[in-house]
Structure 1
Amino acid sequence: MNTVQYKRWFLALCAFLLLVAGGPGGLVGTALAEGKIQLGVTVGIEGKYRETGMVPVVVTVKNGGADVEGELYVATGERGNNQFAVANYQPVSIASGATKQVTILVPGQELHNSSYVALMQNNTIIAKTPVTGRLYSEDTLMIGVLAENRDTANFLGALPKGSIHNDVQVLSMKAENVPATGTQLRMIDMLVINNFALDSLNEQQIKAIRDWTKSGGMLILAGGAQYKKWSGVLADLSPVEVTGVTSVQTLASLKVDKTNPIELTSPFTVSNGTLKTGKALYSEGNIPLMAVHNVGDGKVLYVAYDLAAEPVASWAGNSRFWSDTLIKAFGSSINDSKTRMYDRIWPLRDAADRIPSLRIPEVSWFALFFGIYALIAGPVLFYLLRRKRKQSYMWVIVPVLSVVAGIGIFSIGAIQRGSGVKVHQVGVIQLQNNGQANTASVTAFFVPRNDDYRLTLKGEGMTEPLFELNQHDEVPKIWISMQPDQTNIDFRDVEFWSMRKVATEQSLSDVGKIESNLAYENGALKGTVTNNTKFPLRDVTISSGMQVQEIPQLAVGSSIEVNLPFTPQQQARQNRRWQNMAHALPQHMQSNGYQTETREQVMVEMLEMMDRSSGQSEVVKLVGWTDTPVVEAVVQNESVEHNSIAMVTSALQVTPSKDGHIYYPTGTFDVTMSGSSVPVDDFGDGYRLPAGDITFDINLDQEGQDLTVNNLYLYTWSEDNTTFEKEVYNWKTKAFEPFEKAFMNNVMTSDKTATYISGDGMVRIKFAHQFEDHRHIGYPNVSVEGKVSKK
């Protein structure tokens, strides 16, 4: 055979090897069944989705061939070169000639243009199609609408810029777009229910709306004469107790300005009722037209009319009116930027690596071991063999001794790691005052051998594997299946002595709450705090600003006495934020320094992240630690060693003293960016803006209470120490005035409140600078001394 033939054979062999290696996983075949299996894909809602939250991928499978049983999956987590990290899948069985629709939930941040949907049978892809849809950034305000008329809330998509600076997308939803859990509904920020029959939803979907609202969602309940379509199941969420239907002759309270009123040519139908909680925003006589109240961490806005009813629906001022109304109703929640779960939990991701039983041996022991080895392998062995005149044995004994030492080191490591799987879970539990809790956790497991492993996480919520860059292939090695009550994650071909991690966010019900009976009296915060949760707590701290009280143990059902000194003038400062976080550490760790961070030292950084969005950390808060797992984690068919730790947080309610006096610390009041003359960039704890001005509204309204302000303490700050010009709005003259007219040494006294605090408890402050470059302005920090009475 000549040289040319050898080259041809060699090139053919190389081409064959490349072809085999280029198949999915190098081993998994691809046999696309053209014309037999057809896949149709719809992503998100109306093909739109956001990179935060769980995105529904609806797959329609038409089977024109033989019966098929396999896995339908969405490949996500693409990092280039047609390689993917995760297969989000559901097992499917499709008879010949049948059509089936399957919904697979996928983290929006991991969907890319290269993501695909495939049907796999016996490790062979028999059908495949790309995922298409329109991705929106995390800053987009996503508004879902459940309504009989799909055009009901289109005016919300045309809100004028200014007070609402985020882009707005209105999504017309159907019953099948409502997921089964509240966590999975987080793809949207606001949900409008108007003239929509909620009995078309199942119990899980109704519960999802409730849980989503209580966890921070913005819910609008409307419908006018059709109010019964929602009141049958969500009446308890409404601030108004609806009693029937009536009509009004005028809508004079719904106005933007005097030049553009709503003109009624006939009676206008509205639902009628009485305000049972919260605050009425607009009324006609005794009829509340709009009212809002807090439900957990979320808010519910009641609207007494059908949003699609004329002449309001086509009113020229409708979008401007709703822009103002949404700010009044939902405050800073409107402009909140949502972050991806991966970015929200990175301290937990890092803390999960620190498995207590996998501590690295002390360096001193290694030094001693290698010192003894060097002594024996060197001078000791040389001396003994020289005395016996057997120096040549060194060529055999030293290598053998090295092998024995290496086996010894490996054996010590193997004994330390054990023969079973080590599961380590770290988490944060944010208790609400309604018996619920929002949780975030990372579950890590360390494996002793190369194998396939299945991790099952119990409960409903949002689950996402945290993968490394080298865990990619065309057919992914991480397979995740979300069920209503649990999530299964299959890790295939896991290397021995390696770790895998999974992040989870859940809303827990019926976990109890921290009961507090606290009041400010004689320069101190005094009272009792009781642990009425299911979590036994240790290393507990109760803090108000820089004042901290430490409690070693707070068992379930037990109470402690609180006595914290306080000074109203002492504002929470941005540069004190980490000091406040450090107070949450167990006492024995506070003096250890930070040369080697413990898992607890990493975990407390979650507190800073949770407070950073408001830039305020003076609210009276309890932080404790529990060894109770946040999520039940099971590694199937394995011997498992479990270890868990969670940080439990709860804001503590402070009641007025006997004579009605009270102090509201920084963080109590909602601060909203209500307008700007220039485009601004949201930085979480404030904004950056070019030369121009920005306005903040500070809402002092306390639901169910009338507040008389004695002293209002204000602290303003800039990350780059820019000196901003400040003005305060005079509600009597309807104009801004110099800051110094309202505040002296950053304190507004009671004689100024009638002028600079509106009738519904609003303070408006404008900041301006004239520098050429962008400058930072933080959210103003406000605390109040005053007296309250029941409304």
Structure 2
Amino acid sequence: MKTAKCKRWLLSTCTLLLLLVWGHAHPGAIALAEGTIQLGVSVGIDGVYREEGLVPVVVTATNGGTDVEGDLMVATGNRGNNQYSVAYYQPVSIAKGATKQVTIMVPGSELDSSTYVALMEKDKIVAKAPVSGRRYSYDTLMIGVLAQSADTANFLGMLPKDTFPNDVKTVPMKPEHVPTSGAQMQMLSMLVLNNFALDSLNEQQIQAIRDWTKSGGKLVLAGGAQYRKTAGALADLSPVEVNQVTSVKTLASMKAEKTNPIGLTAPFTVSSGTLKAGNVLYSEGAIPLFAVHSVGEGKVLYAAYDLAEEPVASWAGNGRFWSDLLLKAFGSSLNDYKSSSFDRIWPLHDAADMNPALKIPEVSWFALFFGVYALIAGPILFFILRAWRKQSYMWVVVPSLSLLTGIGIFSFGAMQRGEGVLIHQTGFVQLQNDGQAKVNSVTSFFVPSSGDYRLTVKGQGQTQPVLERNRANEIPKIWAFAQSDQTEVQFRDVEFWSTRKVATEQTISDVGSFESNLSYSEGTLKGTVTNKTKFALRDLTIFSGSQLQEIPELAPGASAEVNLPFQPSAQARFGHRQSYAMQALPAHMRSFQNERTREQVMIEMLEMTGRRGNQSEIVRIVGWTNQPVVDAAVQPENAKTDSIALVTSELKVQPSKDGHVYYPTGTFDVTLAGSSVPVVDEGDGYRLEAGDITFDINLSQEGKKLAITNVYLYTWSDDNTTFAKEVYNWKTKAYDLYEKAFNNNVMTGDKAADYVSADGMLRIKFAHQLPDQRHIGIPNVSVEGKVSPL
């Protein structure tokens, strides 16, 4: 009996000791205060979010106990077995009996079913709650709707699958769902404002919509009689200057295939005005019903009526009509789905690891060093000690020499790296020709000693740590705090002689642009380019297709002459077979054989961020600068900084004096107009079973009338499938054989009158009847002609 009691006593004692040891070994152990702090969590927009950009996680904390001061954090980046990589947090102070609501912006790609929210106090979890919501993949067309009625744009959720093969999700929004920064709206693919009081938003929210649109967003402004209330402070973005409210008796221009026209039994209210920019897509008499124009990198679509107004709202053809309308207005960008923008900057990640300050000494020096060491430790010592008859000292001298050698190598490495932090920044700057630029960067820093470090990135935008698979804890050791004007990323318990990285995406103002005076004449692109940016550039290349011109350097304010030959009939066929980005790398940078340079790695950013389809004939300038493009600093150490950035811009080509112009491949938007079978989007084309697929090629140019001389077409397939081709005749409203419209892949201006619609659309159908899936690439189109103002 006593033996059994002793065994139980020993077992209890051992268990208690193990628990005590485990508790001390895990300072971040969970210590929940049950019932004291209650956490409520909502993610995205009423629980719906897309895994792109920043997603709001709204945490409501109710304190039923004593005053609490700590951090509310969202643990993300699950690596399995409750191991997390990053905590996105905000400091909070909650008085006894109080309720506080905090919004934490988190990358959508890092949210999953295991993500949790916790209130931390002195590195202890005192309250914890799961994050749950409906997650949509990055290839979902997510449409936010700000309207008086939550059902206003439900018809957009039923767009036909033959033109929108991926998911479409409409999300009703409230004023509190609109963030105060454009960078925080990337979760949305499109935003619809309809019969909505814009003045219910504050100035920061309205500016966020403006900034989001200019950086590539798609904004729809509608409302009919309530249009002015809806557009409000954003009216300057609209392509139409609205001056009155009127009514129409018919909507004859609004048609949809296989659907009865809209039957109006009473006058239909619309807003009316004049076109001030862009193109009218549909009109009723002199009244523009729909118009679109570009604003920065984005587009704004004007609709003259209230989208919730009957009988249009319940019209059976509404979904099909808006499918055609959106493709006309926004083009291929609606189907240009990409994974997270931070997944598309791997060239910057790779180049950030190539810090020049951490360059390993040449192998030849190592060989010489170890050769001398082997010579001393071997024959030299042997002969010296034998001459002294002290051979037994070899057992002491050789290990001592090895130890001293090791210390010497370590000291040499430490001396090379210095005593401070080594910061290395790689950047990619896309100038937008309006003084602004989209900037991606990766900032890495090497630490000489272990400890805690904080990297601060100034400016608005999205900043997130670059995750490493081997670094994960139940309570993360990487903490990110996003503020209105900067983001702080804390790295805790960093090992000595190790590197950490942070990726950033920002839109920066007052960067400047390239001023170009270029035109095509007699088989040559001629003119001047002036550097109006703030960057001192080196090793520049101006290129179009396989033609390029190198410029050694171009200081701010300096100009260079351009002289590039071109052949309109020679399509950029190589663009789908090899990297056109390498064409933009100066010849002397391509010749390194022993190792890849930072420039050779970073130039791939041109491929990663290029527009859908072939753009290799677009006239573009590329150059390099050693100026930092993002303001980043590491604390607490003094730091040595090295930077390199790739700066690029599309160059505008003006018509020649007689109006002659050539628009190269990549100028025109090519969209999927429909298919008879399901298709798989492969980025540069589609894969389909036996059946047909139709492309619309929009040849219109905003604010210009184009008289076509020649249309040059190049079609291709990755698996070399020969597709049957037909071209739509807009006069007969039927398809004609390809050979009737094109001769040797060239359509002359007289035929363009039949095969290019009044609004500039060229429609081509491809078909095959083979038993398996086949690939069809996005067609390459360039146009030669003359332009005149509308």
Q: TM-score range by the shorter chain?
A: over 0.9
**Partner Cα distance (2:329, 2:24) in 1:** 52
**Partner Cα distance (1:163, 1:25) in 2:** 58
**Partner Cα distance (1:770, 1:22) in 2:** 67
Give the corresponding residue for 2:746.
747
Letter in 2 for 1:408: G
Give the corresponding residue for 1:702.
701
Mean Cα displacement is larger for which, 519-528 or 154-163?
154-163
Query: How far has the Cα of 1:587 moved from its partner?
Result: 4.2
Give the corresponding residue for 2:637.
638
- Answer whether contact 1:578 1:608 (CA < 8 A) is retained: no
Give the corresponding residue for 2:672.
673
Mean Cα displacement is larger for which, 70-79 or 91-100?
91-100
Q: Structure 2: state its 5+ residue gaps.
A: none
- Answer whether contact 1:20 1:26 (CA < 8 A) is retained: no
Letter in 1 for 2:641: H
Alignment of 1:507-586 (within 5 A): 507-575=507-575, 578=578, 580-586=580-586
- Answer whether contact 2:289 2:305 (CA < 8 A) is retained: yes
Task: State TM-score, norm by structure 1.
Answer: 0.97
Alignment of 1:63-142 (within 5 A): 63-142=63-142
Deviation string 1:455-507 (CA, Å, 9 cap, x unpaired) is 00001111111121111000000000111110000000000000001111111
Q: Cα distance 1:230–1:22, how it changes in 2: closer, same or farther (>3 A)?
A: farther
**Partner Cα distance (2:586, 2:711) in 1:** 34
- Answer whether contact 1:445 1:501 (CA < 8 A) is retained: yes
Query: How far has the Cα of 1:24 moved from its partner?
Result: 11
Q: Cα distance 1:669–1:449, how it changes in 2: closer, same or farther (>3 A)?
A: same
Q: Cα distance 1:9–1:451, how it changes in 2: closer, same or farther (>3 A)?
A: farther
Alignment of 1:154-233 (within 5 A): 154-233=154-233
Q: Cα distance 1:515–1:35, how it changes in 2: closer, same or farther (>3 A)?
A: same
Deviation string 1:188-208 (CA, Å, 9 cap, x unpaired) is 100001111222222222222
Give the corresponding residue for 2:612.
613
**Partner Cα distance (2:175, 2:285) in 1:** 36
Letter in 2 for 1:520: Y
Q: Cα distance 1:604–1:136, how it changes in 2: closer, same or farther (>3 A)?
A: same
Alignment of 1:87-486 (within 5 A): 87-257=87-257, 259-486=259-486
Give the corresponding residue for 1:660.
659
Deviation string 1:633-652 (CA, Å, 9 cap, x unpaired) is 01122101011111011001
Deviation string 1:508-557 (CA, Å, 9 cap, x unpaired) is 12221111110001110001111111222111111111111111111111
**Partner Cα distance (1:303, 1:18) in 2:** 70
Q: Cα distance 1:582–1:6, how it changes in 2: closer, same or farther (>3 A)?
A: farther
Deviation string 1:292-322 (CA, Å, 9 cap, x unpaired) is 1111211110011111112221222211211
- Answer whether contact 1:709 1:787 (CA < 8 A) is retained: yes
**SS state at 1:228 partner:** helix
Q: Cα distance 1:420–1:278, how it changes in 2: closer, same or farther (>3 A)?
A: same
Query: How far has the Cα of 1:616 moved from its partner?
Result: 2.5
- Answer whether contact 1:20 1:27 (CA < 8 A) is retained: no
**Partner Cα distance (1:745, 1:706) in 2:** 26
**Partner Cα distance (1:702, 1:735) in 2:** 25
**SS state at 2:711 partner:** strand
Give the corresponding residue for 1:489.
489
Query: How far has the Cα of 1:232 moved from its partner?
Result: 2.9
Give the corresponding residue for 2:596.
597
Letter in 2 for 1:120: M
Mean Cα displacement is larger for which, 689-698 or 655-664?
689-698
Give the corresponding residue for 1:717.
716
**Partner Cα distance (2:202, 2:340) in 1:** 29
Q: Cα distance 1:15–1:507, how it changes in 2: closer, same or farther (>3 A)?
A: farther
Give the corresponding residue for 1:691.
690
**SS state at 2:334 partner:** helix
**Partner Cα distance (1:340, 1:85) in 2:** 18
Give the corresponding residue for 2:762.
763
Letter in 1 for 2:777: G
Letter in 2 for 1:436: Q
- Answer whether contact 1:344 1:609 (CA < 8 A) is retained: yes
Give the corresponding residue for 2:681.
682
Letter in 2 for 1:32: L
Query: How far has the Cα of 1:579 moved from its partner?
Result: 5.3
**Partner Cα distance (1:414, 1:287) in 2:** 74
Deviation string 1:23-76 (CA, Å, 9 cap, x unpaired) is 798221322122221111111112111111111101111111111110000000
Give the corresponding residue for 1:781.
780
**SS state at 1:49 partner:** strand
Mean Cα displacement is larger for which, 356-365 or 243-252?
243-252
**Partner Cα distance (1:376, 1:274) in 2:** 90
Letter in 2 for 1:483: Q
- Answer whether contact 1:672 1:698 (CA < 8 A) is retained: yes
**Partner Cα distance (1:362, 1:13) in 2:** 59
- Answer whether contact 1:529 1:562 (CA < 8 A) is retained: yes
Letter in 1 for 2:501: K
- Answer whether contact 2:443 2:501 (CA < 8 A) is retained: yes
Letter in 2 for 1:382: F
Alignment of 1:725-740 (within 5 A): 725-740=724-739
Letter in 2 for 1:714: L
Q: Cα distance 1:579–1:164, how it changes in 2: closer, same or farther (>3 A)?
A: closer
**Partner Cα distance (1:423, 1:68) in 2:** 37
**Partner Cα distance (1:18, 1:88) in 2:** 33
Whether 1:772 aligns to 2:784 is no
Deviation string 1:293-352 (CA, Å, 9 cap, x unpaired) is 111211110011111112221222211211111111111111111311332111111110
Query: How far has the Cα of 1:13 moved from its partner?
Result: 7.2
**Partner Cα distance (2:13, 2:406) in 1:** 41
- Answer whether contact 1:532 1:556 (CA < 8 A) is retained: yes
- Answer whether contact 2:700 2:761 (CA < 8 A) is retained: yes
**SS state at 2:66 partner:** coil
- Answer whether contact 2:548 2:584 (CA < 8 A) is retained: no
**Partner Cα distance (1:57, 1:15) in 2:** 40
Query: How far has the Cα of 1:22 moved from its partner?
Result: 6.8
- Answer whether contact 2:614 2:665 (CA < 8 A) is retained: no
**Partner Cα distance (1:324, 1:209) in 2:** 25
Letter in 2 for 1:192: V
**SS state at 1:754 partner:** helix
**Partner Cα distance (1:16, 1:613) in 2:** 63
**Aligned-pair identity (%):** 69
Q: Structure 1: state its 5+ residue gaps.
A: none
- Answer whether contact 1:164 1:674 (CA < 8 A) is retained: no
Letter in 1 for 2:124: T
- Answer whether contact 1:25 1:474 (CA < 8 A) is retained: no
Query: How far has the Cα of 1:577 moved from its partner?
Result: 6.4
Provide the aligned C-alpha RMSD in A. Answer: 1.9
- Answer whether contact 1:24 1:473 (CA < 8 A) is retained: no
